[in-house]
Amino acid sequence: DTVIVLFNRDLRVHDHPALAAACAQARRVVPLFVLDPAIPSGRRRPFLYDCLRDLRDSLRARGGDLLVRQGDTVAETMRLAGETSATAVFTSADVSSLARRRQRRFAEEPIEFRRFPGVTVVPPDLLRPSGGGDHYRVFTPYWRAWSGAPRRSIVGAPEAVPTPKGLRAGAIPRGLPYGGIEGGEGAARKRMRAWTRDRLDGYEDLRDDLAGDGTSRLSPYLRFGCLSPLELAACGNEAFVRQLCWRDFHHQVAFAFPDLNRRDYRPRGTTWRSDKDAEQAWREGMTGVPIVDAGMRQLLAEGWMHNRARLITAAYLVKHLRIDWRVGYDHFFDLLLDGDVADNAGNWQWVAGTGNDTRPNRTFNPLRQARRFDPDGEYVRRYVPELADVPATHIHEPWLLSGQAGGYPPPLTRP
């Protein structure tokens, strides 16, 4: 018997329950990835291609291969099932509306379709609040339930992947590298090991220090599943594990609301302003508010932004400029290497107070944030070179200086 393992955002061989089950149960295993035009492209493509090349190498080292096809995922999978006489498709369960549409379509095909865990630490439909409802709306009770929830065991990488010979492997395209970070499980595991060995202990103290760069930067790898979040959560550092719980939290919200990235329960009395120039200035890091501009320029340069800066820039867009959070969501989704529907939309909704946890008074004063998390202005100077010579006393309020620093604009709104 032959099983197709359909990869998606689980591009690894370690702790991959669907792959492990296929290798344990089937005589022949056909690993497949479909480059589907429905996958939102963003700038993540070259990173994705790195991940696919690395996965192919790992599977080949185990006697298997990664078949890559282009086209509609369900149609291509079924075509390959015909070619290989496969009787089942194993895949990792995901929460996006795209993944769920596919799942419904597979259910109508004459093949066994099985979903396995692996994208989150705890499956998104496992925990239900005791007061009723199908998901948790607020983080703290979720964190409590999540911390005590049973965990599946971590599965090792299969020793052998028995892929039939003679199948066309299919080309993996090349793209212009973006963000200067290498994709793939190999690079991910190297970074994970170095991070847990050298930096994890300092995480709690450093995680909000903008210039200190004390976070793991593992998010693009988690986004593509080059790392198992369950394996990472076994590191035991509570402050860090809590962040992985936030990731699960947003996934269980997305599971309950597949349209999380579009629905907008804006608080009563809020109206969004339309101001194309302000939107553009925000995107380009030219708002005239240094801490906001530093974050937006980090995003443009690296395809990644520090979490504290994401909070500050997002709050500035929705609370100060009063522009619809979905404008920000789209821009982040396009540029972030870790851009993900659940995490991006969940966090934007959280900042805007428009999601299911509507607390409209959550405010982030950019100046107070800047003084607290970038006290010497080092982060600002790194990304806003026009302000390189501004003294620390004025770095966050250059408009108070008599002459405006070379080419740097006055603030759109004074924070």
Q: How far is the CB of 175 from ligand FAD (least distance, A)?
A: 20
Establish if 332 lies at the interface with ligand FAD (CB under 6 A): yes
Question: Around 401, how many Cα atoms within 13 Å sit in the side-chain half-sphere?
Answer: 19
d(CA 258, CA 270): 24
Q: In the 8-state DSSP scheme, what is residue 214? A: -
Establish if 311 lies at the interface with ligand FAD (CB under 6 A): yes
d(CA 328, CA 330): 5
Closer to ligand FAD at the Cβ: 111 or 234?
234
d(CA 135, CA 256): 6
Per CB under 6 A, the list member of 10, 76, 338, 374 interacting with ligand FAD is: 338
- Helix, strand, coil abundance in the chain, percent, nearest 5: 45, 5, 50
3-state SS assignment for residue 69: strand
Establish if 318 lies at the interface with ligand FAD (CB under 6 A): no
Choose one: 33-41, 170-178, 342-350, 407-415; the region binding ligand FAD (CB under 6 A).
Answer: 342-350
Q: How far is the CB of 105 from ligand FAD (least distance, A)?
A: 26
Closer to ligand FAD at the Cβ: 177 or 212?
212
Residue at token pair 């066309």: 168
Closer to ligand FAD at the Cβ: 324 or 338?
338
Q: Residue 199 corresponds to which tokens in the numbers above?
A: 């930096």
Closer to ligand FAD at the Cβ: 106 or 333?
333
The answer to whether residues 295 and 313 touch, using CB atoms and an 8 Å cutoff, is yes
Closer to ligand FAD at the Cβ: 2 or 196?
196
Establish if 95 lies at the interface with ligand FAD (CB under 6 A): no
Establish if 237 lies at the interface with ligand FAD (CB under 6 A): no
Question: Around 84, how many Cα atoms within 13 Å sit in the side-chain half-sphere?
Answer: 31
Q: In the 8-state DSSP scheme, what is residue 129? A: -
Binding residues for ligand FAD, per CB under 6 A?
207, 215-219, 222-223, 243-244, 246-247, 250, 307, 310-311, 314, 332, 336, 338-340, 343-344, 347-348, 351
